[in-house]
Amino acid sequence: MTTNALIDPFGRKIDYLRISVTDRCDFRCTYCMDEDVTFLPKERILSLEEIVRVAKTFIKMGTKHIRITGGEPLVRKNILWALEEIANTDGLEELTLTTNGSQLYKMAPDLLNAGVSRINISLDTLKADRFFSLTRKDKFQQVIDGIEAASQLPFKRLKINSVMLKNHNDDELYDLAKFSLDRNMDISFIEEMPLGVITDHDRAETYLSSDDVIEQLSQHYQLSLSDMKTGGPTRYYHVAGANNKIGVISPHSHNFCDTCNRVRLTVEGRLLLCLGNEHSKDLKSVIRNTTQDSGALESAIMEALALKPQQHHFDLAEAPQILRFMSATGG
Ligand code: SAM
Ligand code: SF4
């Protein structure tokens, strides 16, 4: 198999794989899952060895960037082993991680040593009581301690991710931005996506657009749109006088679909071709039926790529049309 083989039917080069390593989490963020969520039984999820096999196959086929996410990836037992295996595979340029930050106070040095170069840390508020309402867990200080611990280490980049909900935390836009920029971290504000059925709130009522975010922040900062291309839904803005950037993630916009460079491996081993569509291929059965045959997995990945749709169709008014939860799909 040649490298850079992963080109989809619309000519897009797919060199970015996101892997959800667990659907479990120590938080219960109201926009992500209900409090009494049922997690998948162990036999239905990929083992770490299976995940590493898929990752190595993708790297062999030209994947340059792998992001590990979940659920909360750092609550998966032996995750450091898998991170190190993936990071040390020839051909990979970047191993990155998305975490809720709860384990960073003790794991940050191990992550750096394992080969993780960049970390996105989710933080939606700087108020402890509000943190409890949003995550349903009393771990605000633990997360802040984790962010401080990580920011002392030479990671290539740290970024805060904040999901903004109207009338829940949108009064903290500036405070969250200042918190991040003061610590030499970027920040991205995320629009809520209609993934999974939740009962806490009506997503159409809490929806805050990225345009509103930028308008509010422009009252505090001089922002200029960066031409940085991410291949995803993030648009970055330079902040006059600061080294770091402010991003907005607008999944509702179709503008980024034509440069989409990514696919996702779900916790159950489905290769998901688009976050907003159900097009997918079951790689778990291929892996489990062909333990020694690497060619079978490569062929299955090529077949899957042919299914990648041109664009997604999120629509809050008709939500939830995507029943998967973000935690299972590697949001
Ligand atoms: N547990 C880790 C964390 O929270 O960073 C990794 C997984 S989490 C699913 C990845 C990102 O998705 C987080 O930044 C989270 O805030 C975001 N997220 C979860 N549900 C979402 C939703 N319905 N809409 C938009 N973002 C969501
Ligand atoms: Fe857990 Fe992340 Fe979902 Fe929050 S957003 S419940 S931390 S998986």
Task: Give the domain ranges of the chain.
Answer: 16-329
Q: What proportion of the chain, given as a percentage, has pLDDT over 70?
A: 89
Reply yes or no on domain 16-329 having CATH 3.20.20.70.
yes
Residue 1: pLDDT over 50: no
Q: Which of 120, 122, 147, 322 to mutate for ligand 1's pocket (most ligand atoms within 8 Å of CB)?
A: 122
Least confident of 30-39, 85-94, 157-166, 306-315: 306-315
What residues line ligand 2, using a CB cutoff of 6 Å? 25, 27-29, 32-33, 70-72, 100, 122, 327
pLDDT at residue 329 in the model:
55
What are the pocket residues of ligand 1 if the criterion is a CB atom closer than 6 Å to any ligand atom? 25, 31-32, 69-72, 98-100, 122, 161, 163, 190, 192-193, 195, 326-327, 331
Asked if the model's pLDDT at residue 90 lies above 90, the reply is yes
Q: What is the pLDDT of residue 321?
A: 44
Average pLDDT, the chain: 89
CA 155 – ligand 1 centroid, Å: 21
Whether the pLDDT of residue 106 is over 90: the answer is: yes
Tokens of 179: 């918190």
Q: Does residue 175 contact residue 216 with C-beta atoms inside 8 Å?
A: no
Mean pLDDT within 41-56? 96
pLDDT tier at 172, thresholds 50, 70, 90: very high
Q: What is the pLDDT of residues 245-274, one digit of tens each?
A: 999 988 766 567 888 888 999 999 999 988
* Angle of helix 104-114 versus helix 79-87 axis, rounded to 10: 30
Ligand 2 centroid to 70 CA: how many Å?
Answer: 8
At 307, the pLDDT band (50, 70, 90 cuts) reads confident
Which ligand lies nearest to the CA atom of residue 196 in the structure? 1
Sequence letter at residue 71: G
Q: Which ligand is nearest to the CA of 99?
A: 1
Per-residue model confidence (pLDDT) at position 325: 53
pTM for the model stands at 0.92
Closest ligand to residue 200's CA: 1
Region 142-166: what's the mean pLDDT? 97
Q: What is the model's pLDDT at position 192? A: 86
Reported as a single tens digit per residue, the pLDDT across 229-239 is 777 778 999 99
Ligand approaching nearest to the C-alpha of 331: 1
* Tens digit of each residue's pLDDT (9 = 90 or more) over 292-303: 677 999 999 999
Please report which confidence band the pLDDT of residue 129 belongs to, taking 50, 70 and 90 as the band edges: very high
Output the pLDDT for position 319: 42
User: Which pLDDT does position 324 carry in this prediction?
Assistant: 52
- The atom number, within ligand 1, closest to the CA of 196 reads 23
Average pLDDT, integer, range 23-39: 93
Average pLDDT over residues 29-49: 93
The 3-state secondary structure of the chain reads CCCCCCECCCCCECCEEEEECCCCCCCCCCCCCCCCCCCCCHHHCCCHHHHHHHHHHHHHCCCCEEEEECCCHHHCCCHHHHHHHHHCCCCCCEEEEEECCCCHHHHHHHHHHHCCCEEEEECCCCCHHHHHHHHCCCCHHHHHHHHHHHHCCCCCEEEEEEEECCCCCHHHHHHHHHHHHHCCCEEEEEECCCECCCCCCCHHHHCCCHHHHHHHHCCCCCEEECCCCCCCCEEEEEECCCCCEEEEECCCCCCCHHHCCEEEECCCCEEECCCCCCCEEEHHHHHHHCCCCHHHHHHHHHHHHCCCCCCCCCCHHHCCCECCCHHHHCC
pLDDT tens digit string along 60-81?
999 999 999 999 999 999 999 9
pLDDT band for position 275 (cuts 50, 70, 90) = confident
